[in-house]
């Protein structure tokens, strides 16, 4: 047993370490390119970098802000990764996030008389279900009619965002109806502060708990095994008798729920009330986070940290080094390109090495 486990560590550990080094190298390379770009448009790249790092990690407040930005990204990153593991492309995180936020807000406002110990979990559950049911629609359309989830999820985004616009301006508007926002959620449904003096809230802890659940589901549960088999090889899944339709429904439900939690936590921890533009694109950044993290739990947390830091540090960079915030988006794009390209190159390299080894073996034989 011990011997076997150690070989497991060796084979998988070695590959993992290589992957981390290559991804890290690619990120550094992309950041260097970004600095070159800042220099090219006439700013001082070093003061920009210092301002960026300071804004993301310099002190309690800055770090708290990074955690705040990171939390929804962990959820949307997991949402995309989960669907991706099942061979699905979920582009509907933004809409699922909004629906989760709406369901959470409604439960937070209209359910009354419960202690926080009940009201808060109930609200979070509602947030999960709001996103999950929205995701399930795309899953059902795929299973029933063969509609591509890539298209339906994007369409559902538009519907969700418009629907929230309507709800916030109409049925749920805060009386007397001057500002287009809902009334605040009850204090029993709000997420407590995590680090005093910052905006960081317990939503981050919930996110980390869900990362563990995400790992447990995909790599330790039987259903997760089915999902991964179907995602990698549909023909093998049918051969083994795996019910692929059922898994599509389940995965779209869970992925929607994760994105819903991103929105719900943002409401319960930061905004306190529903407003029309609750997400500055957390849903779409989730794709990048998942890509950088290679759909692995730890990778997603690291990817979310990086993108959270960009968002938190970007403001500081604009104020202090006068570099336009838009440059942050460019650097983000560079990071995505570099990391994804490096992973592909790594795969090619491994394949080449394997061929070489096989050739040598056959020559010896």
Partner 1 sequence: MGVILEMENICKQFPGVLANDCICFSVKEGEVHALLGENGAGKSTLMNILCGLYKPTSGEIRLEGETVRFNSARDAMERGIGMVHQHFMLIPTMTVTENCLIGDKEGSSIKLDRKEAGRRLKELAERYGMEIDPDAIVGTLSVGEMQRVEIIKALFRGAKILILDEPTAVLTPQEARALFKMIRALTDNQFTVIFISHKLDEVKEISDRVTVLRLGTVVGTYDIDQCSVEELARLMVGRDIHFDAVTRQQPVGDTLLEVNNLSLHREKSNEGKLLEDLTFEVHKGEILGIAGVDGNGQAELVECLTGIRSASSGEALYQGKDLLKLSTRDIMSNDVSHIPQDRQKTGLVMPMTLVENFALQDYYKKDFGKGALMNWIGVEERSAKLIQDFSVKTPSPYELAQNLSGGNQQKVVVAREISRQPKLLIAMHPTRGLDVGAVEYIHNQLIDQRDKGVGIVLVSTEMEEIMRLSDRIIVLYEGRAMGCVRPSETTVEEMGLMMGGRTLDDIRKGSIKETSVEEKMM
Q: Dihedral sign for Cα 46, 25, 209, 135, please.
A: positive
Please say which residue, 118 or 234, places its beta carbon nearer to partner 1.
Answer: 234
Q: Considering the rule CB under 8 A, would residue 4 count as an interface residue with partner 1?
A: yes
Which residues are CB-neighbours of 218 under 8 A, at least 6 positions away?
82, 85, 224, 227, 228
Q: Considering the rule CB under 8 A, would residue 349 count as an interface residue with partner 1?
A: no
Q: Considering the rule CB under 8 A, would residue 236 count as an interface residue with partner 1?
A: yes
Of 12, 112, 148, 179, the residue at the interface with partner 1 (CB under 8 A) is: 12
φ/ψ region of 243 (left if φ > 0, alpha if ψ in -120 to 50, else beta) reads beta
Please say which residue, 171 or 220, places its beta carbon nearer to partner 1.
Answer: 220
Q: Considering the rule CB under 8 A, would residue 222 count as an interface residue with partner 1?
A: yes
Q: List the structure tokens of 57.
A: 């990690």
Please say which residue, 225 or 337, places its beta carbon nearer to partner 1.
Answer: 225
Segment lying near partner 1 (by CB under 8 A), choices 97-105, 111-119, 141-149, 218-226: 218-226
- What is the closest distance, in whole angstroms, from the C-beta atom of residue 4 to partner 1 in the complex? 6
Q: Considering the rule CB under 8 A, would residue 233 count as an interface residue with partner 1?
A: yes
166-to-79, 159, 279, 338 alpha-carbon distances in Å: 26, 11, 16, 40
- Residue showing tokens 């605040």: 184
Interatomic CA distance for residues 250 and 204, integer angstroms? 25
Q: Considering the rule CB under 8 A, would residue 10 count as an interface residue with partner 1?
A: yes
Q: Considering the rule CB under 8 A, would residue 146 count as an interface residue with partner 1?
A: no
Cβ atoms 183, 271 nearer than 8 A:
no
Interatomic CA distance for residues 344 and 32, integer angstroms? 21
Interatomic CA distance for residues 365 and 271, integer angstroms? 68
Of 32, 37, 54, 228, the residue at the interface with partner 1 (CB under 8 A) is: 228
Which residues are CB-neighbours of 212 under 8 A, at least 6 positions away?
297
- What is the closest distance, in whole angstroms, from the C-beta atom of residue 356 to partner 1 in the complex? 12
Residues 191-210 that bind partner 1 (CB under 8 A): none
Q: Considering the rule CB under 8 A, would residue 7 count as an interface residue with partner 1?
A: yes
Which residues are CB-neighbours of 205 under 8 A, at least 6 positions away?
194
Of 42, 196, 220, 363, the residue at the interface with partner 1 (CB under 8 A) is: 220
Please say which residue, 112 or 221, places its beta carbon nearer to partner 1.
Answer: 221
Of 112, 169, 221, 360, the residue at the interface with partner 1 (CB under 8 A) is: 221
Q: Considering the rule CB under 8 A, would residue 235 count as an interface residue with partner 1?
A: yes
- What is the closest distance, in whole angstroms, from the C-beta atom of residue 298 to partner 1 in the complex? 18
φ/ψ region of 192 (left if φ > 0, alpha if ψ in -120 to 50, else beta) reads beta
Please say which residue, 110 or 239, places its beta carbon nearer to partner 1.
Answer: 239
Cβ atoms 148, 92 nearer than 8 A:
no
Segment lying near partner 1 (by CB under 8 A), choices 41-49, 130-138, 201-209, 234-242: 234-242
> Counting beta carbons within 10 angstroms of the beta carbon of residue 29, is it exposed (0 to 12), middle (13 to 18) or buried (19 or more)?
middle
Binding site for partner 1 (CB under 8 A): 1, 4, 7-8, 10-12, 216, 220-223, 225-226, 228-229, 232-233, 235-236, 238-243, 354, 358, 361
């Amino acid at each position: 047993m011990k011997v076997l486990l150690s070989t497991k560590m060796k084979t998988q550990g070695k590959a993992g370490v290589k992957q981390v080094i290559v991804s890290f190298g690619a990120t550094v390379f992309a950041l260097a390119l970004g600095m070159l770009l800042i220099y090219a448009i006439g700013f001082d790249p070093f003061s920009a970098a210092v301002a960026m790092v300071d804004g993301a990690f310099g002190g309690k407040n800055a770090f708290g802000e990074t955690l705040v930005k990171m939390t929804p990204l962990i959820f949307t990153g997991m949402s995309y990764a989960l669907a991706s593991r099942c061979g699905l492309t979920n582009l509907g995180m933004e809409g699922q996030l909004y629906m989760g936020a709406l369901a959470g807000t409604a439960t937070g406002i209209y359910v009354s008389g419960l202690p926080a110990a009940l009201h808060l979990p109930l609200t979070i559950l509602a947030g999960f279900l709001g996103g999950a049911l929205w995701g399930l629609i795309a899953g059902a359309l795929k299973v029933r009619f063969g509609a591509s989830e890539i298209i339906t999820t994007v369409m559902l985004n538009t519907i969700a965002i418009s629907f929230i616009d309507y709800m916030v301006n109409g049925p749920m508007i805060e009386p007397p109806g001057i500002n287009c926002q809902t009334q605040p959620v009850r204090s029993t449904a709000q997420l407590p502060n995590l680090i005093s003096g910052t905006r960081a809230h317990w939503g981050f802890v919930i996110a980390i708990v869900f990362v563990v659940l995400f790992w447990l589901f995909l790599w330790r549960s039987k259903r997760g095994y089915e999902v991964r088999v179907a995602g990698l090889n549909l023909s093998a899944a049918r051969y083994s008798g795996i019910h692929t339709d059922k898994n599509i429904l389940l995965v779209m439900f869970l992925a929607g729920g994760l994105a819903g939690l991103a929105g719900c936590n943002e409401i319960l921890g930061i905004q306190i009330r529903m407003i029309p533009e609750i997400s500055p694109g957390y849903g779409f950044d989730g794709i990048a986070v998942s890509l950088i993290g290679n759909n692995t739990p730890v990778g997603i947390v690291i990817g979310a940290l990086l993108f959270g830091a960009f968002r938190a540090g970007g403001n500081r960079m604009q104020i202090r080094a006068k570099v336009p915030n838009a440059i942050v988006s460019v650097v983000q794009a560079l990071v995505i390109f570099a990391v994804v390209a490096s992973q592909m190159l790594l795969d090619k390299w491994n394949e080449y090495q394997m061929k070489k080894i096989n050739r040598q073996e056959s020559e010896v034989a």
